[in-house]
Amino acid sequence: MDKTKDPNISAMCTLAVGEAGRTGDWRSFRPVIDHGKCIPSQKGRSACFLCWLYCPEGVVRAEIPITIDMEYCKGCGICAEECPAKAITMVKEEGHE
């Protein structure tokens, strides 16, 4: 039996990149990471990853250095808000002046 699935739960969804469609063409702000401030990059080990935890689109990859799939990032800025090291800055996309 697959122990990762609860048979008592009939409607179970799993996160998949891009289920809501690509967002990269309408995003007005984009997150820019300063890896010089980012804790995992600084420490050289898995740590923090709050941006990965809080991103509602699941597009932050918890790796070193962290990366963001800009095809699907909607530019909400939650990652920047939650980052304790202020390593993420939201900048305006070109064409959204």
Please report, as ranges, the residues that interact with ligand SF4 according to CB under 6 A: 31, 33, 38-40, 48-51, 55, 57, 59-60, 66, 68, 73-79, 83, 85, 87-88
Q: Which is nearer to ligand SF4, 19 or 78 (CB)?
A: 78
Nearest distance in Å: CB 25, ligand SF4: 14
**CA–CA separation, 30 and 28 (whole Å):** 7
How far from 97 is each of 28, 29, 91, 92, CA to CA, in Å? 9, 10, 11, 7
Nearest distance in Å: CB 10, ligand SF4: 29
